[in-house]
Structures are given as C-alpha cells and as structure tokens.
A and B are shown apart, each in its own frame.
Chain A
Amino acid sequence: RKEVEQDPGPFNVPEGATVAFNCTYSNSASQSFFWYRQDCRKEPKLLMSVYSSGNEDGRFTAQLNRASQYISLLIRDSKLSDSATYLCVVSRYSSASKIIFGSGTRLSIRP
C-alpha cells in the first residue's frame, strides 16, 4: 500500500462546477499537509497548505481529517485554468526526507 494515495482521475467536469478530491495517507505520524498543482511538464507549484482547522483561499477549500487520515481539496466555480494535476503532499516535522508525494489527480475542465 502506498503511503499517500490519490485517485488518478481524470476528473472531467464542466466549467462552473464544484469538484472535490480526497487524498489518504497511511502514516499517523504525518504532520504537515499540502496541495500542489502541476501543469503539464511544468514544476509543481504550491496551491495551499492544509491546516487542522481547515482553510480556504478564494475558490479553494482544504480540509484535514486526522481520524480517518485523509485530506481533501474542494474547488468551487471551476475555471478552464483549473485544468491541471493536483498533488497531495504529506510530511513530518523536522524530517528532511519524509516528504511523500501522491501520484496526483488529473482535472480537466471543459467549456
């Protein structure tokens, strides 16, 4: 079993729709959580950190559920420019190497 798992998709949704992804992690010692976005053949870019209380940044909302060991990303009013691969990242405090990337969920927004 992978330490971080994501549904690879693709998710194909119409513009304006709301879409949500989950990411599960297996190590309960995980302490830091992030969502990155990666466009085709480009570098991953930080979308948002995920805090215990949940956090929102414009149309994007991230949630953490420690009991069930998953994080989620909700995108409201999706735009064509949201088409990308979304990477879930899990790490542990003060551990340089324990940064685990999910394989990503592909999202395609259609007009």
Chain B
Amino acid sequence: NAGVTQTPKFQVLKTGQSMTLQCAQDMNHNSMYWYRQDPGMGLRLIYYSASEGTTDKGEVPNGYNVSRLNKREFSLRLESAAPSQTSVYFCASRSLGRGDGNQPQHFGDGTRLSIL
C-alpha cells in the first residue's frame, strides 16, 4: 500500500531554477492537494484539484503552477525558484463525492526544498 508518493524527497535549487515536484496516489481518490509548511507554521494550501481535469488556486498560489496529469498524478511546478519558496511541500489526496463527505486527507511524506 503505497498511498501517496512524492518525489523527490529532498532538493536544493539555485534562485531562478525551475523544477517539478511529483505526486501520485494509488487510492483512486478524486481530489488532490499541494500544501507548503514553513518552520513553526501550519499548512498552507497552494493549489488543489477537486477532480481530474480541474485545478484551482488555494491560499498561496503565486510562483507555482500545477498539472493534474490524470486521476493518479498531480504535479507542482516552480518556474523560477525564489528563496521565499524554501519550505516543506506536502501532497495530499482525498475521496470526495456523494457519500464520501466524511473522508479525511492522506498525505505524502513531503519534499524538503531549499532555494539558495
């Protein structure tokens, strides 16, 4: 049972570089999410995808783009990395639909990203 898998687990970038964080889930969930968590702070929603084919901005979308490649995969892209994007990034998924109202999110184990 892999659950939610994120790659890479660690990454160091230079300012201005681009990269894509990958997330895949094998639970047949329809909703997927990207969060960032800074030291001593709570989770902040960057983008989410309620279902395959849709994406929407969350609380802190600036500087990021996302792609819901298929039902399993939801990637997060930093086009031009900035030091302010140094953070731990978590992907999550959830089953959402009629009869699934009380389903919790399941999280990947995170990507630790440092921008120099």
Are B42 and A43 within 8 A (Cβ)?
Answer: no
Least Cβ distance of A87 to chain B in Å? 8
Are A49 and B102 within 8 A (Cβ)?
Answer: yes
- Given A41-B88, A42-B109, A43-B90, are A94 and B97 also a contact pair (CB < 8 Å)? yes
Are A97 and B42 within 8 A (Cβ)?
Answer: no
Contacts of B37-86 to chain A: CB distance below 8 A? 41-43, 45, 48-51, 56, 58
Mark interface residues in B73-116 (1 if CB within 8 Å of A CB, else 0): 00000000000000010100010111001111111111010000
- Given A44-B90, A103-B42, are A97 and B58 also a contact pair (CB < 8 Å)? yes
- Find the A residue at minimum CB distance from B90: A43
- Find the B residue at minimum CB distance from A47: B104
Mark interface residues in A53-76 (1 if CB within 8 Å of B CB, else 0): 000000000000000000000000
Partner of B101, one of A89, A94, A102: A94
Asked whether any CB of chain B lies closer than 8 Å to the CB of A32, the reply is yes
Are B43 and A101 within 8 A (Cβ)?
Answer: yes
Asked whether any CB of chain B lies closer than 8 Å to the CB of A29, the reply is no
Question: Interface residue count for A (Cβ, 8 Å)?
Answer: 22
The residue among A41, A43, A87, A101 with the most chain B CB atoms within 10 A of its own CB is: A43
Residues of B close to A17: CB separation below 8 A: none
Asked whether any CB of chain B lies closer than 8 Å to the CB of A110, the reply is no
Least Cβ distance of A84 to chain B in Å? 14
Least Cβ distance of B17 to chain A in Å? 23
- Find the A residue at minimum CB distance from B49: A96
Residues of B close to A103: CB separation below 8 A: 41-42
Are B98 and A94 within 8 A (Cβ)?
Answer: yes
Partner of A32, one of B88, B90, B102, B110: B102
Contacts of B15-48 to chain A: CB distance below 8 A? 31, 33, 41-43, 45, 48
Least Cβ distance of A53 to chain B in Å? 13
Q: B residues near A, CB below 8 A? A: 31, 33, 41-43, 45, 48-51, 56, 58, 88, 90, 94, 96-98, 101-110, 112
